[in-house]
Structure 1
Amino acid sequence: MTKRISSNATLQALKPQDKEYMIPDKKVEGLNIRVRPTGTMTWTFRFQIGKKHEKISMGRYIKSKPQTGMTLEQAREEAGRYRSWLENNKNPKLELVREKREQEAAKTFHDAFVSFDAIHLSKQLRGEQARTIYLRDVKPFIGDVKLDDLNIMDLNRVFDAKTDQSGRRMAGAIGACHKVMNQIINHALALNMLEVHPAPQLKAKDVGGGSKVTKRNLSFNELELLQLSLESWKTNTSNIRLIRFLLGCGQRIRAVLEMRWEEVDLKNRTWILPASSKDRHSKSPESRKVPLSDYLIELLKEQRKEIANGRKLVWPQLNSDKVQESSAIRIIIKRNLPDGIEPFSPHDLRRTFISRCNEMKLDIVAVEKAVGHQLPGMLRVYNHYDYFNEQLQVMQAWGRKLQALAPKKKDKISPTKAALLRRHNGIQPATFAICSKSSKFTEGLIDGIF
């Protein structure tokens, strides 16, 4: 019988016998393979502490598929650790118990998130969004990673997974993941769950994240073109009315899409916009009164006539009383965008409201209050005046401006032709007004230009 294990071939040659037997390893003292009558083969490490003989069961060697069990190389490496402990007068058995205890006590990235969630996210108005990002995009990659082992390569696994179908990095998704992970890491550092930040200088833009701050807002000329084209958009009239309402009120699209009839008081010209919560995304910690101009009230009255009775939402989905997705409105705009207007998003209409109102020299404080912005500095602390009347004046002035830019029914002109005229530098507003009254003249003028 073989007296020592020298190679994998030696292990493969071992056969079960009537009684179990043990063969020592030739390379590492104390390492043995035990062969049972059933054919089961188990690695053991035998050692002596003082006068006491002890052994450690290490793992099985699976003869048919060695790589699925503990291989000879792995057994020798592990037994080498045990020998090192013995040489330093440490009991390998006790050291293994200590290691196991430390591993069980070691905190994972998910442990840090659970603590962060309980202390911070549970109290944030929009904590659910960060929680969703973590559970969907972060946890599958680094949730089980020990905080002490966390490194930049682990973080990159999260970022590398955020690509679109063409393989391009999704900047917004990467930025969101970076923000959430950084908050969790900083929380772990504050509670001494983690000693050092694995990548303190890493910014979202370094890994393809972040987004450019857009300055897109529509000029008065573009607003006139937009209103000329709206009636021919390929969508239902409710959505056309919604675009007009978004432009006229200056509020965030999500808040408008979640708007309910019970919050609207047409008589007192107000819309009570609720505080942000799990179900409402107004981004405001407190509810506030939004003044309604004549322009907005007229749109709401038209919407009330068209919307089915019993609907709670002002701008619901076409066949149900469910909130529309902001992305659906973006698609509608993209598909119907007329020539002569650069692409814009629903949020750009909010930026347009603020920019054009300031261009009209309206009260800047009232404009900021109208859209729900906090006043800067100490004004936020000491100035609690609601500026409601001033906000209403802003809304009224803006509504009148939009009505003035809207096409008159008797002067209707093809939106496409109007866009072509506007794009041509030689056509001034006064000329455009003359052209719009005569379709034959317009046709001839366009043919002459183009």
Structure 2
Amino acid sequence: MANQSITIRTVRSIKPDQKRDIYVWDTRLKGFGLRTTPAGSQSFVFQYRVDGGPARRKTIGPVGSPWTPNTARREAEKLLVQVYQGIDPVEAKREAKRKKEALKFSSYCARFTELYLKDRWRGTWKAANQTLENVVVPRWGNMALNEITRADIVKVLDEYSDRPARRKEIHSVLRKLFNWALDRQDIDASPLLGMKAPKAVPARRRVLSDEEVVALWKASEKAGWPWGPFVRMLILTMQRRQEVAEMDWSEVDLEARKWILPAARAKNDEEHIIPLSNLAMAELKRLTPARKGLIFTTTGSTPVSGFFKGKRSLTEDMLAYLKARRIEEGGDPDLVNIPNWRLHDIRRTGATNLQSLGIPVEVTESVLNHISGTRAGVAGIYNRYKYDAEKRAALDAWDRKLAALGC
């Protein structure tokens, strides 16, 4: 059919040929055309050659909203500009699709964890990965990394305005993720560039009183499996929440009365030996004959979780216990209050008690597996003594105090 200006009248005038597609080429714009199939369906097309190569044809879209002769011609003009720049529109679209799939946020986060976090954030990579999986992947999982804007990030951070520590954690992980992507040239700019980081959160100083420690112990006795034994092991060993949550029978030597935390799970990448006191041994022996896999688990394959919900339940039972005690003493239960606390405060509480029991600072730091203070710098490099005997004495002293308190 003769070339002509493609208008609405042209579109309506074309009659299908039962044997072949009919093409009408626009006289106003090179390469812009209208295709009519034997079945009568019509679509706008763009035909082109890149750098003298073979002719290629790209479908702009079917006739009808949003594609009219005018809107389709404007799209063809954009494609023609790409051709003049030596860009193949078909390949450009395919490459954009491939890049979007490669930059899909959920899969990109998984790659970031494998290639960066596990190697560079050895002691905290699991927590950082959980931040990604629990906070941002559910929101942005199907978006491409380069589609995420600062407004998207601000919206998430605003949701945590009442939890400043968590807010700063989220910002820190996202900043590293986008900087890593920028270094790899997967994105052209980070949406966090120039954005002020949330204010640093003051160091927590919360220490549970002796009465609160007893209340927590009693509350743990009411908690279901695996929360009760898990919380008591936090109290008895003073180790980090995730380290205890992922405690495995393969790490425990009941005969030698010790728990060996492997370097791969330790925050400082050093193997750490935790002596097991009488109360700790009693807790573990109550869990036997199970001697394989994770200790604190309900599934057999994943460690205990749901810490926020579990801690809230513990606080309710602690409050009930303290109010009952106050009534027994003839006091007003309505005056009983438990200041905000976290599971990590159990560690600080234990360390504070060790100091009050006369345990040297360097031994306390060794119990906690802290590479700071007396164990940092030059002293930490040259003093490789592990304080195993002293750690056992310290935890036994803590064990005796807990027993004396009524735990």
Calculate the TM-score normalised by the size of structure 2: 0.69
Query: In the alignment, which residue of structure 2 is the partner of 1:291?
Result: 275
Distance in 2 (CA, whole Å) between partners of 1:221 and 1:248 is 16
The alpha-carbon deviation at position 197 of structure 1 amounts to 3.2
Aligned-partner Cα distance in 1 for 2:248–2:36: 75
SS in 2 for 1:120: helix
Offset of residue 272 of structure 1:
2.6
- Paired amino acid for 1:301: A
SS in structure 2 of the partner of residue 273 of structure 1? strand
Q: CA deviation at 1:129?
A: 5.6
Cα separation, 2, equivalents of 1:151 and 1:15: 43
User: 2:316 maps to which residue?
Assistant: 335
User: CA 1:377/1:14 → structure 2, altered by over 3 Å: closer, same or farther?
Assistant: same
| Normalised TM-score (structure 1) | 0.64
Structure 2 residue 103 is matched with structure 1 residue 109: yes
Structure 2: distance between partners of 1:134 and 1:263:
29
Distance change >3 Å, CA 384–CA 33, structure 1 → 2: same
2:390 corresponds to which letter in structure 1? E
Gaps of 5+ in 1: 408-450
In 2: Cα distance, 1:314 partner to 1:54 partner: 62
Range moving further from structure 2, 25-34 or 181-190: 25-34
In 1: Cα distance, 2:225 partner to 2:33 partner:
82
Alignment of 1:120-131 (within 5 A): 120-121=116-117, 123=119, 125=122, 127=125, 130=128
Evaluate the alpha carbon distance shift between residue 81 and residue 354 of structure 1 in structure 2; reply closer, same or farther with a 3 A threshold: same
1:248 pairs with one of 236, 241, 248: 236
Please tell me whether residue 157 in structure 1 is matched to residue 152 in structure 2. Answer: yes
Quote how far apart the aligned CAs of 1:200 are: 1.9
Q: Distance in 2 between matches of 1:319 and 1:99?
A: 47
**Shift in CA distance, 272/26, structure 1 to aligned 2, threshold 3 Å:** same
Whichever of the two has the greater Rg, that structure is 1
- Runs of at least 5 residues in structure 2 that lack an aligned partner in the other structure: 320-335
Among 259, 272, 276, the residue aligned to 2:259: 272
Task: Provide the aligned length of Structure 1 versus Structure 2.
Answer: 379
The equivalent residue for 2:39 is 38
> Is the alpha carbon distance of 1:249 and 1:105 closer, same or farther for their aligned partners in structure 2, counting shifts above 3 Å?
closer
CA distance in 2, matches of 1:47, 1:249: 72
1 CA distance for matches of 2:250 and 2:91? 63
1:325 maps onto 2:315 in alignment? no
Q: Which residue of 2 aligns with 1:75?
A: 72
- Aligned equivalent of 1:307, options 265, 284, 287: 287
Q: Show CA shifts across 1:240-282 (max 9, x none).
A: 56544432321123333444566555665x42322154xxx54
Give, as a single letter, the amino acid of the residue that structure 2 aligns with 1:371. Answer: L
| Structure 2 residue aligned with 1:215 | 205
1:106 deviation in Å?
5.9
Structure 1 range deviating more: 184-193 or 108-117: 108-117
RMSD: 4.9
2:393 is paired with a residue whose SS is helix
Q: What is the CA-CA distance between 1:290 and the residue it aligns to?
A: 1.6
**Cα distance in structure 2, aligned partners of 1:290 and 1:46:** 73
Alignment of 1:174-193 (within 5 A): 177-193=170-186
Over the matched positions of the two proteins, sequence identity in percent amounts to: 21
Aligned-partner Cα distance in 2 for 1:322–1:113: 21
Q: Deviation digits for residues 129-171 of structure 1, max 9, x if unmatched?
A: 655655674497377637xxx3662x5436646898xx98887
Indicate the residue corresponding to 2:324 in structure 1: none
SS at match of 2:198: helix
Give the residue type in structure 1 aligned to 2:35.
R
Q: Which range moved further: 349-358 or 283-292?
A: 283-292
Shift of 1:85: 6.7
**1:62 aligned to 2:62?**
yes
Where does residue 365 of structure 1 map in the other structure? 362
Q: Deviations over 1:266-304 (max 9, x none)?
A: 665x42322154xxx543523222234xxx314523652
Distance 1:73 1:171 in 2: 53
SS in structure 1 opposite 2:273? Answer: strand
Does structure 1 retain, via aligned residues, the 8 Å contact 2:60–2:72?
no
Quick one: distance in 2 between partners of 1:237 and 1:184? 36
Look up the match of 1:145. Answer: 144
AA at the equivalent of 1:325? S
